[in-house]
Structure 1
Amino acid sequence: MQSDENRFKTWMQTKGATPPLGSWIMSASPLIAEAMGYAGYDWLLVDMEHSPIDLAQTTSILQALSGTPSEVVLRVPWNDPVMVKRVMDAGARSIMFPFIQSVDEARAAIAATRYPPQGTRGVAAMHRASRFGTAPDYLARANDQVAVILQLETPEAVALLPEIAALDGVDAVFVGPGDLSGSMGLLGQINHADVQTALRDAAQAARRAGIACGIVGADPAKVRSYIEMGFSYVAIASDLALLMGAAKTAAASVRGQAAPQASGSAY
């Protein structure tokens, strides 16, 4: 199992000079996830929203990553307290919620991650998170180790950033560039000047609000540009995107063709 300290939560609180670097796990393969855990990333996000990863696979992936240096974030498919309860019992403790659109939705997400009286998380004694009942004082300590990350993916949600950041229990926000571009009428046009301006404004709004703000980019150059904008934690592509990029480049090289352009329009 990972250490008792949730390093991702600590990083979000300290907001150091070097943004923690992550990537997405979408392949549904515990073996690939474990390999990614040794690839030099500070954190890895297990994505249940935009991948075929189900609860049983999530548990296997969490087990595979538990012995690696990477800290784990789990993105649930929706702001659903039942799913949150199940993934937390499986061992997830840094939870990302997609498509938060209001302060009330943000409050509901926070409550789903906390045991009473701070929240509404259902209580069980026997599960992987408690080390099957052997972790000392798990119920008393669990709330303190939870990290909540809320995704803001429309201009309306980004406008609420100061109010959402002020809620007790929010550790970080995350701007989804793909959905933001779509909600702006610029679907897939992440590099459009208006989208880039909106992303920069969000990063700066988060800085003023004193909360960590993250983002994902398709390639190293894009991720570096996001760091320059002021994002405080970043991710590059996903296990599948990195695999496909290397696979396509290798095939093109053997055939004497130019390396294909990185796709990654979803980012």
Structure 2
Amino acid sequence: MDMPKNAFKAALKAGKRQIGLWVTVSDPAQVEMLAACGYDWLMLDTEHSPAQVPDVLSMMQAAAPYPVSCGVRPGWNDTVEIKRFLDAGAQTLLIPYVQNAEEARAAVAAVRYPPEGVRGVSGASRSSRFGMVKGYLDKAAEEICLLVQVESVEALGKIEEIAQVEGVDGIFIGPADLAASMGHVGNASHPDVKAAVLDGLRRIKAAGKPPGVLTLDNSFLGDCAEAGAQFIAVGLDMILLREAALSLRAEWAD
């Protein structure tokens, strides 16, 4: 059996823009519906949701029949948690709150087998099609896409050194946490925050890595794209549901 291909990683390498949605509702049926909507990728978030490994496994299985890539954001840069998501079949991981090159190297080590890393070896996990992918242990790193998230003033200042870490496939800027780090908690639309995000995106691109961003500010999306953002989350499931429900109720308000 052949190695499962990572279409998202291939698209980033080819310089193609990838548009995605953030997923925080841990329901396979909802993920299946979103998977059929034509987005390039879905990010299954476990940092700010109740989702655990079994939930993510079910969501990835629900999306599998559709031409969409699923990424997973672990709760932290944790070797054990990363290992479990990889064994469950995740091929793209977004590691939150990476502050410097040392932490980026730790993330790389977590997704690679020895001697390049510390990922534990399992001979019959879903990642290797239950042991039926020939040579999986030797080829796994080729299809794993490691994205790291910079979301503080400190991390933003170290973009270039993080980008130099071999094995980092893209760098994502989190405007909400960056805003908090800059003293503007809850106000990711502050002009200083927007300026910092755009500067960061340009620097990531200049450093040779695909930049990514999540913003629910539609007017800011175009600015991010012009600054070089290559993988862009344009919506979040819970907020899309909330806004649709509020809008529909407003139409029928007395």
Q: TM bucket by the smaller chain?
A: over 0.9
> Within 2, Cα distance between the matches of 1:154 and 1:188?
14
Give the TM-score taking structure 1 as reference length: 0.91
What are the ranges of 5 or more consecutive residues in structure 2 without an aligned counterpart?
none
Give the TM-score taking structure 2 as reference length: 0.96
- Cα deviation digits, residues 159-188 of structure 1 (max 9, x gap): 111111111100000000000000000111
Residue 109 of structure 1: CA displacement? 0.4
From 137, 146, 149, the equivalent of 2:147 is: 149
- The answer for the alignment partner of 1:231 in structure 2 is 229
From 95, 99, 102, the equivalent of 1:101 is: 99
> For the aligned residues, what is the CA RMSD?
1.4
> Within 2, Cα distance between the matches of 1:207 and 1:124?
36
> Within 2, Cα distance between the matches of 1:178 and 1:111?
27
- Cα deviation digits, residues 182-231 of structure 1 (max 9, x gap): 00001111111100110111011012101111001115433223212321
Residue 111 of structure 1: CA displacement? 0.3
Report the number of matched residues. 253
SS of the residue corresponding to residue 72 of structure 1 reads: strand
- Between 135-144 and 200-209, report the one with greater CA deviation: 135-144
**What is the correspondence of 1:28-43 to structure 2 with a 5 Å cutoff?**
28-43=26-41
Is the 1:223–1:235 contact (alpha carbons within 8 Å) kept by the matching residues of 2?
A: no
Matched, 1:22 2:15: no
Question: CA 1:253–1:223 in structure 2 vs 1: closer, same or farther (change >3 Å)?
Answer: same
From 232, 251, 254, the equivalent of 1:253 is: 251
**What is the correspondence of 1:1-267 to structure 2 with a 5 Å cutoff?**
4-16=4-16, 19-255=17-253
The letter for the 1-side match of 2:213 is I
> Within 1, Cα distance between the matches of 2:99 and 2:64?
32
SS of the residue corresponding to residue 196 of structure 2 reads: helix
Residue 3 of structure 1: CA displacement? 7.7
- Cα deviation digits, residues 22-70 of structure 1 (max 9, x gap): 0111100000011100111100000010001111101101111111111
Is the 2:3–2:128 contact (alpha carbons within 8 Å) kept by the matching residues of 1?
A: no
Residue 88 of structure 1: CA displacement? 0.3
What are the ranges of 5 or more consecutive residues in structure 1 without an aligned counterpart?
257-267
The runs of at least 4 aligned residues of structure 1 exceeding 3 Å deviation read 219-222
Is the 1:24–1:47 contact (alpha carbons within 8 Å) kept by the matching residues of 2?
A: yes
The letter for the 2-side match of 1:54 is Q
